[in-house]
Amino acid sequence: MLSLSIPDHVRPIRDKVLGFIEQEVYPVEADIVADKVGSRRGGLLRSLMDKAKAQGLWALGHPEELGGGGLPFMDYVFVNEVVGRSEVATVALGTHSLQDSIMLHRYASDEWREKYLQPLVDGEVFPSFGMTEPDVASSDPTQLQTRAELEGDEWVINGRKWFTSGAGTAAYTTAMVRTEPEGTPDHSAFSMIVVPTDTPGYNIIRDVRVMGQYDGHYEVVYDDVRVPKSNLLGPRGQGFKIAQQRLGPGRIFHCMRWLGQAQRAFDLMCERANARVAFGKALAEHQQIQKFIFDSACEIQASRLLTLHAAQKIDQGDEARVEIGLIKVYGAQMLHNVIDRAIQVHGAKGVTEDTPLERMYRHARFARIYDGADEVHVQNTGGRILRRFARGEGFDFGLR
C-alpha cells in the first residue's frame, strides 16, 4: 500500500539531514555557488563534507559494502526529498556519486573498482558522465557519433561531447561510445568506457554557459584518446542497458530533489505572502495570491504521489517506464510553476540573487530537457499506454 507519510523509522534521519541543510548548508550556499571553481568553494565544500561524515550523514544511499550508509532504496527516496532543497547538499552529503559508484560496483573491472570506487564513495574523487553530443539530437542517442576502435589491447576514442557535467574537477568520465560495426542493431552498438580525465587527447574545450551562467557543463573533445581494453564498463554493446539501469532510479532521485526545491520555494512564497503588505493588507489576504498557494500545494502533492508510486514500483523490481515518464514530465512542469509563482510573490526581489529563487528558476527550465526532453517522454509513455490497450490489457490506475 502506497503512503505519502514518511515512515517512522526514516523520520529521525530525515529530520537530521534537514537540520544539517538548514544550519550548515544554507548559510554558505550563496558563497559556494558564486565561486564555482575557486579555492574558497573547495574549502567550504570540504568543511561541509567533513561535518556530514562526523554526524553520520555521509553517503546515506550508498550500499554499506561500499562504505555508505546502506539506506534501502525507498527510505533513501524520502531522505533525498530533503537533500533536494539545496543543490550544494548533494555534494556536501555525498549523494552526488551514488549512480556512478553503483555503476562501477556492478560493471567495472577489478582494477577500476580498486582505483576509483572507494575514493568515489569517500568523496576524494569526483565522477563525470559523457553521453550528450552537440551535433546529435540527444533525444535519439542511437545517433551518437563518438567512436571507440579496439587496437590491440587499447581502445582509441574519437569524438566530441558536451554537457559532461563536472568534467573540470572529475577524475574520470564514463563515456558512451559506439564500439560495434555498422549494421549492428542500434541498441547493441554502444558501450561505456572509463576515461581518466588526465589521459592525453582528452581535451576540455569550454565550460558551457547555461542560462547565462557557467555551471560545470563541459564540452570535451576526444582526440585519439587511448585507454586500456580493461576500461570497458560491462560487456561490449551493453551501453544502453547499463545506461537504463543508471537512469531509471536516477530519474526518481531527480524528481524527489525537485520536490525538495519546490517545497523550499513554497515555504519562501508563503512566508513572503504573510510578511509583505500591498494596498493596505498582507499579500496573503489577496485572492490571487491565495490561488498561487492553492495551485502550488496541489501540484506538489500530486507530483509527490506520482513520484513515490514510481519509486515503489522500482523498489519492487519493475522498470516502471510509464510511471517514470509521467513523473519526469509532470515533475519538471510542477517545479517550474511553483518557483515561478514564488518569484512573482517576491516581486523584483525574486529575480535577484538575494533569494535562491532566481537560480532555482534557471535549473527548473533545464529540467524539461535533461534526462530526456518532455516531448520524448510524452510520446514514449503515451505509446506504451496505447500498446497496452491494443493488447487488451488496459491501464490500471490502482496504486499497486
Question: Is pLDDT larger for residue 137 or for residue 224?
Answer: 224
pLDDT confidence of residue 3 = 66
Residue-wise pLDDT for 299-358, tens only, equals 999 999 999 999 999 898 888 899 999 999 999 999 999 999 999 999 999 999 999 999
Residue 399 has pLDDT above 70, yes or no: no
Residue-wise pLDDT for 58-94, tens only, equals 999 998 888 889 999 999 999 999 999 999 999 999 9
pTM of structure: 0.91
Residue-wise pLDDT for 80-136, tens only, equals 999 999 999 999 999 998 888 888 888 988 888 888 888 999 999 999 999 999 998
Cβ neighbors of 26 (< 8 A, separation 6 or more) are: 86
By the 8 A CB rule, do 337 and 296 touch?
Answer: yes
Cβ neighbors of 48 (< 8 A, separation 6 or more) are: 24, 25, 28, 88, 91, 92
Residue-wise pLDDT for 241-300, tens only, equals 898 877 777 888 899 999 999 999 999 999 999 999 999 999 999 999 999 999 999 999
Residue-wise pLDDT for 171-227, tens only, equals 999 999 999 999 999 999 999 999 999 999 999 999 998 887 777 899 999 999 999
Domains present along the chain, CATH in parentheses: 11-108 (1.10.540.10), 127-233 (2.40.110.10), 241-390 (1.20.140.10)
pLDDT confidence of residue 146 = 97
Helix/strand/coil (H/E/C) assignment for every residue in the chain: CCCCCCCCCCHHHHHHHHHHHHHHHHHHHHHHHHCCCCHHHHHHHHHHHHHHHHCCCCCCCCCHHHCCCCCCHHHHHHHHHHHCCCHHHHHHCCCCCHHHHHHHHHHCCHHHHHHHHHHHHHCCCCEEEECCCCCCCCCCHHHCCCEEEEECCEEEEEEEEEEEECCCCCCEEEEEEECCCCCCCHHHCEEEEEEECCCCCEEEEEEEEECCEEEEEEEEEEEEEEEEHHHEECCCCCHHHHHHHHHHHHHHHHHHHHHHHHHHHHHHHHHHHHHCEECCEEHHHCHHHHHHHHHHHHHHHHHHHHHHHHHHHHHCCCCCHHHHHHHHHHHHHHHHHHHHHHHHHHHHHHHCCCCCHHHHHHHHHHCCCCCCCHHHHHHHHHHHHHHHHHCCCCCCCCCC
The Cβ of residue 333 has, within 10 Å, a number of other Cβ atoms equal to 16
**What's the chain's length in residues?**
400
Would you state the cell numbers that stand for residue 184, as one nine-digit string?
Answer: 549492428
Residue 41 has pLDDT above 60, yes or no: no
Helices 321-346 and 287-315, packing angle to 10 deg:
150
Confidence of residue 2 (pLDDT cuts 50, 70, 90): low
The whole-angstrom distance between residue 166's C-alpha and the CA centroid of its chain comes to 12
Cβ neighbors of 288 (< 8 A, separation 6 or more) are: none
CA distances, 251 to each of 181, 293, 326 (Å): 31, 26, 11
d(CA 69, CA 9): 14
Would you state the cell numbers that stand for residue 279, as one nine-digit string?
Answer: 494596498
Exposure string (b/e) for 125-156, b if CB count within 10 Å is 16 or more? bbbbbbbbbeebebeebeebebbbeeeeebbb
Of 267, 171, 169, which is closest to residue 215 (Cα–Cα)?
169
Confidence of residue 36 (pLDDT cuts 50, 70, 90): low
Residue 40 has pLDDT above 70, yes or no: no
pLDDT confidence of residue 32 = 87
The Cβ of residue 230 has, within 10 Å, a number of other Cβ atoms equal to 14
By the 8 A CB rule, do 3 and 312 touch?
Answer: no
Residue-wise pLDDT for 142-180, tens only, equals 899 999 999 999 999 999 999 998 899 999 999 999 999
By the 8 A CB rule, do 159 and 216 touch?
Answer: no
